[in-house]
Amino acid sequence: MPDAKPALPDHGLGPFLQDARVRWVACLIALAVLIAAPLIFGPYGIVILTNALLYVVLCLGLNIVVGYAGLLDLGYAAFFAVGAYTIGVLTVQFGFNFWVAFPFAILAAILAGVIIGGPTLRLRSDYLAIVTLGFGEIVRFSARNLEVTGRASGLSGIQDPWLFGWHINSSIDYYYVFVFLAALAVLASFRLANSRLGRAWLYVRHDEDAAEAMGINRVKVKLAAYVIGAIFGAIGGAFFATNLGAISPESFSFEQSVLVLMAVILGGMGKIPGVILGAFIIILGPELLRDLGEFRLLVFAVGLLLIMLFRPSGIWPARRA
């Protein structure tokens, strides 16, 4: 974006956190806390944390599309739905084993990424946002109207996966699955950001024409962002489906896409710790406000508004070079 703000002055913890060793120690401590969490929180807390970790995976996926490549996607829930429904349809309607269905979920996500990415690459940001929104709604309406996806009532009885004799079925099991997935997503995001492809995304985001002139294949680079973002979403969706055992079209609404996007932007686009923070705020915020009853989401929305007004680049934004 050409209208980016100049970099904020870096004070306090900034240079300290730049140190790779400090970063590793911070990651290890975070991981240790997450692994020990079931000892501290009750069953309800674990369910919420699992949900927050699912959001970390989704937000990091969307962050690749929006934060790294600068493509505004308002239909990210579609990828999440593609993963969940592929698992759901193949295991419930066709009796596949989870691990046999899983590669198909990835394939479906790649296909969806190409389908959504392909025709939209020429569009400007606002139009792109609307087209992705349209695709998201098409996926949801299709799920609601097709026989194979169980129409409005969705699919139920999705079997839990087995892993080397371990039956993943309790909420603690799923919690650890999502700890693993979130850690994997963080690692993959970090590696991607520092890769050749990551630098190409940065270039395309800043100046598409200059990037093209420098020999970057704009189409390939943007498609890669969609496809990789889609894979993150689909993996999250696949385990979301088996965790709940049932899925319905309403889990993949526009609101879901908006919440994921809000988490990314709220935390700070393109910045991994920021995005993780955003995911936790979006999930834990409404939970902490649970006592407010029907006014809960209202207070939450006003809070979001205030954060955007006072920190338009997010709470923990990426520093601009």
**For tokens 């009532």, what's the residue?**
153
| 88: three-class secondary structure by DSSP | helix
Question: Is 295 a residue that touches another protein (CB under 8 A)?
Answer: yes
Q: Which two tokens stand for residue 74?
A: 């308002």
143 close to 84: Cβ distance less than 8 angstroms? no
Q: Which two tokens stand for residue 22?
A: 């400090």
Q: Which stretch binds another protein (CB under 8 A): 53-61, 181-189, 243-251, 263-271?
A: 263-271
| Dihedral angle sign, alpha carbons of residues 186, 190, 196, 200 | positive
Question: Is 308 a residue that touches another protein (CB under 8 A)?
Answer: yes
Among 55, 137, 249, 280, binds another protein (CB under 8 A): 137
Question: Is 211 a residue that touches another protein (CB under 8 A)?
Answer: no
Residues in region 212-251 near another protein by CB under 8 A: none
Among 44, 94, 99, 141, binds another protein (CB under 8 A): 141
Kind and range of the H or E element at 246?
Answer: strand 246-247
51 close to 206: Cβ distance less than 8 angstroms? no
CB of 302 to another protein, least distance (A): 6
Torsion of CA 282, 175, 237, 61, to 10 degrees: 60
CB of 41 to another protein, least distance (A): 28
Kind and range of the H or E element at 267?
Answer: helix 254-267
Question: Is 36 a residue that touches another protein (CB under 8 A)?
Answer: no
CB of 108 to another protein, least distance (A): 18
Residues in touch with another protein (CB under 8 A): 1, 3-5, 66, 70, 72, 119-120, 122-127, 129-131, 133-135, 137-138, 141-142, 144-145, 208, 254, 258, 261-262, 265-266, 269, 294-295, 297-298, 300-302, 304-305, 308-309, 312-313
